[in-house]
Structure 1
């Protein structure tokens, strides 16, 4: 049995989290993945969308599996350079403005130069604005305060900042002695790190998989179409490794692997879901079954695009999804263990 080494996992995850990769601007993170997998002697290629596909050959090639995790994150673009020298944003991905209020950020210009700033409510000061507490956190009221001497629109433009420049949020990675992992963008870099480490360990240990397995690291999942293409025709099963979302009425927690039974796209493949549950029971992997009403995955995108596959979705439980997220290493462990046993199992 292959185990996920906590120290190695945390080092890899921190590396991934500290590379900015909002949807639409993922070149740096894909380069990092390419280097990691090439050093592990795992062959890769890119699709035209910029995602990365890696393959581990198995005993059988006429029937194959595909697993996915996405490395694109939430982010923003400059919508407007305001007359006061601040920036108005347009969001990339489904999240709320209040979840980024007070967050430090990085503005990357078209030339590749970067500047730092902070995302604030325009009416932030309670000493000046009567509605500081009640003003709606929306596009009209939120702005970026750039860490440069800028007082006018022209000052900002002279820095090279313009409409369409990408804005990334500080991840603020923190690992606690009690095993918690706190950061932005654990969705889905926590799962990407699991797949990378499992692939490397399988390769080093000379474990032979029963089926050739392709691993897609998609780069457009947060905007809905990351994993909907480049699926080999031999693919029978498609497993998205994403996150389990926590909240009122949910069974997902931070200490188990979440097995999704249904999301906004409808039920996941029943037989494949039951197979994952049976594997978890057999190998004593702690898990929770759950339904996510406002969720979609690479697997559901693949189904919507017309692929004839059995699809499933699992992942570590993540608290405060699409905000400042948190999980526990026991959830990472459980997810890695279930994936490993799934990779060695027979097709449904």
Structure 2
């Protein structure tokens, strides 16, 4: 687990909002190349790794997404501050006061802070009541800028990507606190699984593809490049925690249904059987406002058996947290799953 936790930290520290994921995909690609695993990039910029199995007629695909929430510069204000447009489904209040970085089209990086325009309580008596929205939130750049001309002189322009400081921390009690655990925790788990398969020379029963998708947060990361031989497609993504949810930070969450509808019943039962047979702590759950790369693949018309599991993540799409126990239980279930028989 220590290697997986270290890898999670490395991944979350690489900025990768949807639409600007080249750096993190290159990192993953290099990691897999060091293992001599065959990889290729799709036209959307995602990465597909393939491990041949005994049965090369029936394939599996597992996916996790490396893209994250973020923002894009919508407007350069007369004050020299920046107005944002959000990338992904989250609320402005979840990023108020967050440090960020703006990346120009030439690759220059500038730091800043996301604030309410009406932040100072010494000036704005209704600072706490104003709505946190696109109109009132702005980026305060750490540069001497007073107008749009000053900002543009730095190379900053509308359309530049804005990434949030992950503030990752690993506690002695085993918690991982960070932005973007959705879904870089799962990416790290899959990469360590691939490493285990290759170093231990495990012969998989079926040719297995691992898709590191890069557009999941905007709805279409894993809906293409699925080989026609693929029978089972398993998304590895976060389990949602909150009132009425069974998922917690210590078990692997097996999703029965999300906003797209039920996942494949027989595959879900097989995952439960594997967890029960191997003393893996799990929770069955429904995520009411959620969609995955597996559900995106179904919507795209692929004739596959689809499922969804993942570590439980608290405060999703905000400042997230999980525990190493959840990472470990997810990793164990995946280890047994890739060596199991397919649903027929």
2:195 aligned residue (196, 200, 215): 200
* Structure 1 residue 209 corresponds to structure 2 residue 213: no
CA contact under 8 A between 2:5 and 2:324: conserved in structure 1?
A: no
Please list the CA deviations of residues 143-192 of structure 1 after superposition, one character each: whole Å capped at 9, or x if unmatched.
00000001111111111101000000000000000000000000000000
2:78 aligned residue (72, 78, 83): 83
Q: Which runs of 5+ in 2 are unaligned?
A: none
Please list the CA deviations of residues 45-84 of structure 1 after superposition, one character each: whole Å capped at 9, or x if unmatched.
0000000000011100000100000000000000000000
Please list the CA deviations of residues 123-148 of structure 1 after superposition, one character each: whole Å capped at 9, or x if unmatched.
01111101101000000000000000
Deviates further, 151-160 or 218-227: 151-160
Partner of 1:3: none
1:309 aligned residue (300, 304, 307): 304
Partner of 1:335: 330
Q: How far apart, CA to CA, are the structure 2 residues paired with 1:207 and 1:155?
A: 58
Partner of 1:266: 261
Q: How far apart, CA to CA, are the structure 2 residues paired with 1:13 and 1:74?
A: 16
Q: What's the TM-score once normalised by structure 1's chain length?
A: 0.98
Q: Which runs of 5+ in 1 are unaligned?
A: 1-5
Partner of 2:34: 39
Q: How far apart, CA to CA, are the structure 1 residues paired with 2:288 and 2:13?
A: 30
1:72 aligned residue (67, 80, 86): 67
Q: What's the TM-score once normalised by structure 2's chain length?
A: 0.99
Question: Superposed, which structure 2 residues align to 1:219-258 within 5 Å?
Answer: 219-258=214-253
Question: Superposed, which structure 2 residues align to 1:1-348 within 5 Å?
Answer: 6-348=1-343
Q: Look up the SS of the partner of 1:312 in the other structure.
A: strand
Q: How far apart, CA to CA, are the structure 1 residues paired with 2:63 and 2:85?
A: 27
Please list the CA deviations of residues 180-210 of structure 1 after superposition, one character each: whole Å capped at 9, or x if unmatched.
0000000000000000011011101001000
1:9 Cα offset (Å): 1.2
Cα RMSD for the two superposed structures: 0.5
Q: Look up the SS of the partner of 1:192 in the other structure.
A: helix
1:7 Cα offset (Å): 1.8
Q: How far apart, CA to CA, are the structure 1 residues paired with 2:37 and 2:308?
A: 24
1:12 Cα offset (Å): 1.1
Paired residues, number: 343
Shift >6 Å, 4+ stretches: none
Q: Look up the SS of the partner of 1:227 in the other structure.
A: coil
Q: Look up the SS of the partner of 1:303 in the other structure.
A: helix
